[in-house]
Amino acid sequence: MGSKLKKLHYHTIEFEVDTMKKEMVKQDINCLEYPLWFQDERFAEHHEEGYTWKNAKGFVFSTSFKPPVKTDIIFLLYLLNQSQKEGWKDEIKLTRYQIIKGCGLTKDARWYQRLQESLKRWERVSIEFNGCFYDGKAYKTIHFGVVDSWSIEEGTKLLRIRFSPEYLLVFKNTKYFKYIDFDQIKALRSSLATRLYQLLVKTF
């Protein structure tokens, strides 16, 4: 069976999405519309003590550490894809090398450190949809974290990651969703292109 392709355009940026590929990560459309990460890396680095952002519709993003940026959303999408493959398990175990390689990064000590910092960033994030979470029929109020806890096992050195159950249920049970091609989004070089990709997938 041939792949089903569709093209998404935004001015001079074109994405070709293969909707039959295996590395498609299910995303609730609310989490594509509202930003769970920041494009400005300098801004994030200067807010190590945390930051809160809200809009007039009732969406609130808050963190007690550096806000997630492009690198962090790529790590998160990879981990979500692994959970998805395992039936949306709350807890997954992987090697750090497996994650780094899967995200298209080099086997370098700095990426091992950055992965652990990324988990810390997601562990500190809290998301609120106050009357603005659309389930395809009505608007609801829902609050959740992203990563509840993580650790490195002695001996095996496996990375154990436990997601917030409420966060995973958003993706598992949603009827209002699209799929993101992980291989394509991880290959995008800029934060702007990554954010545009999310918005285009949401729209088309």
Q: Enumerate residues 6+ apart whose C-beta is below 8 A from 126.
A: 60, 61, 62, 63, 143, 144, 145
CB 133 within 8 A of CB 142: yes
pTM over 0.85: yes
**pLDDT value at residue 22:** 66
pLDDT in tens, 105-150: 999 999 999 999 999 999 999 999 999 999 999 999 999 999 999 9
* Domain residue ranges in the chain: 5-203
**Res 13 pLDDT > 70:** no
**pLDDT value at residue 204:** 86
Mean of per-residue pLDDT scores for the chain: 91
Tokens for 136? 């395809």
- Alpha-carbon distance of 63 to 186, in angstroms, equals 24
**pLDDT value at residue 3:** 43
Residue 45 has phi, psi (to 5 degrees) of -65, -30
Alpha helical stretches, state H, 86-176:
96-102, 109-123, 165-173
Q: Work out the pLDDT band at 23, boundaries 50, 70, 90.
A: confident
Q: What is the DSSP letter of 64?
A: S
CB 16 within 8 A of CB 3: no
**Res 15 pLDDT > 80:** no
pLDDT in tens, 44-56: 999 999 999 999 9
**pLDDT value at residue 4:** 45
